[in-house]
Structure 1
Amino acid sequence: MTYEEFCKQGSFSLEDLLAFAYGNLVDDRPDGFDARLPAPPFLMLDRILTITSEGRQGRIVAEQDIRLDAWYFQCHMPGDPVQPGCLCVDAIWQLLGFYCVWRGALGAGRALGCKNVSFNGQIRPYNRCVRYEVDIRRFSHLKDSGASIVIGDAKVFVDNELITEITQAQTGVFSGIVYPDYPKHSRNSVGGMIRS
C-alpha cells in the first residue's frame, strides 16, 4: 500500500501487522519511516479492528488470539501457565507506537512509561481472545525535535471480561535512534538516554 493509503486506513489485518513489523507494508516509505512492530513471537496483536483520530485524540481497538502453545505459557510458570501481565502493557505500548506512525510520525518507537497499572484477572491457555481498547488522550508532534509523543488510557479484556486497566501509557517516536546494522558495533549499538 502507499503511505497515503496507510495513513487513511481504519483497520489492519495480521498480514498488515506482520508486513509492518518486517518493514514491507508501505511501498513508498518517506525518509525516516523507521518504525516497526515487534515480530512474532513478541508481537502481541493479531489485528487492529479500528484506529481513529479526532484532533489530538483518538481510539484504537485491537485483538490477540490466545494460543495454547504460546511461548510464554511454556516458561511462565511451569505447572501454572499464565500470560505475564507485563505483556498486556507492552501490547498497549505497541499499539501506541503504531498509532504515532499512523498519524505521520517519522522515526522509531520507544515505550516511555505509564502512570498506573491495575491487574484484576489473568490470561490462561484456554482463554480465546484478548481485546485491547485504547483511548488516546493526546497526540503531539514536537516540531523542534521532530519527535512525536502519544498518551493513552487502556482497558484489556479477555473473553469480554475486564482484567487490566492502564492509565497514561506513553510512547514516543524519535528520529536517528535505529540500530539496523546489529550486531556490528556502531553509532547506536549502546543504549542510554534518548537524545533526538
Structure 2
Amino acid sequence: MRLKYQDFLQRTSFSKDELLAYSWGDLIEDPPIEGCGLLPSPPMLMFDRITEISHKGKRGRIVAEQDISLDDWFFQCHFRQDPVQPGCLGVDAVWQLIGFYAIIRGGKGAGRALGAGAIEFFGQIRPHNKIVRYEIDIKRFSNMAAQDAAIAIGSAKVFVDDQEIYTINDAKAGIFKNIQYRDYPHQSAQSLGGQLT
C-alpha cells in the first residue's frame, strides 16, 4: 500500500512492511522531494514497527519496537562466545526514530544524527530476549525552512522485555536538503564528507 504525502503526515503508527517500503523510497507516492528522509534499510533499520507518534506544539513522542531473533546479524560477531546487541545500535535506533519524527512533522531532506547528551547503559540485549522498546519524548522540534533544515531533540528510554536498560538524553537528529549522495559509487558533489552546510 502506498500513501499520499498528506496521509503519511497524519499517521500515528507504521507496520514493518510500511517501514521497509519507506526505507526503499516506495511508501509515499507523491513525496515533496526525492528521497524524503529515508530510513536505513535492513540490517541497519533497528526497529520493526512504530506503535505511537504524537505531537503537540514543539513537543511530541515516538515509540517503536524491535523483535529480537536468535540469528540477528550482530549476535554473530559481537561477540563470539558472548553475544550481545551493541549498545551503539540502540543509540542509532533512537537517532533513526528522532529523524523519522522530524520527517513526519514536515521536515524535507536527508536525515543525519547530530549528537546526544548523557548516555547510560545498565542492561543488555541477548539472543533469547524477545522485544526491545524505544520510548522517546521529543523536547523540541524546529522546522527551519529558510535554512532548508529541520531538527528534533528528544530523550529516550530503552527497554528489553519491559525492563529499562538504557537512557539517552538530548539525542539530536536533523533533516537537510541537498546533501543526499544518490549517484554512489560515482564521484560527484556529494561524494565527500565534511561539515553540513
Classify the TM-score, shorter chain. Answer: over 0.9
Percent identity reads 54
Q: Which aligned runs of 4 or more in structure 1 are off by greater than 6 angstroms? A: none
Match of 2:32 in 1: 30
1:53 aligned counterpart, secondary structure:
strand
Task: Tell me if 1:13 matches 2:15.
Answer: yes
Which of 123, 128, 150 is the matching residue for 2:152? 150
Pick the aligned partner of 1:65 from 64, 67, 74. Answer: 67
Partner of 2:56: 54
Shift of 1:146: 1.7
2:173 alignment counterpart: 171
Superposed CA offset, 1:141-178 (max 9, x none): 11321200000000000000000000000000000000
Q: CA RMSD in A?
A: 0.8
Unaligned runs of 5+ residues in structure 2 are: none
Mapped to 2, the partners of 1:174 and 1:108 lie a distance apart of 5
Match of 1:115?
117
1:113-140 Cα offsets, whole Å, 9 max, x none, are 0001000000000000000000000000
Paired with 1:184 and 1:191, the residues of 2 have a C-alpha distance of 14
Contact 2:55 2:61 in 1 (8 A): yes
Q: Which residue of 2 aligns with 1:75?
A: 77
Q: Distance in 2 between matches of 1:80 and 1:57?
A: 39
User: Which deviates more from structure 2 when the two are superposed, residues 21-30 or residues 33-42?
Assistant: 33-42
Of 3, 6, 22, 1:4 maps to 6
1:59 deviates by 0.3
Aligned counterpart for 2:133 among listed residues 116, 131, 134: 131
**SS where residue 31 of structure 1 aligns?**
coil
The number of aligned residues is 195
Deviation, structure 1 residue 32: 5.1
Shift of 1:33: 4.8
Q: How many Å separate the matches in 2 of 1:191 and 1:143?
A: 23
| Aligned partner of residue 146 in structure 2, secondary structure | coil
Q: Which amino acid aligns with 1:158?
A: V
Q: Secondary structure at the match of 2:37?
A: coil
Indicate if the aligned counterparts of 1:34 and 1:178 stay in contact, CA closer than 8 A. Answer: no
Q: Distance in 1 between matches of 2:100 and 2:170?
A: 16
SS at 1:123 equivalent: coil
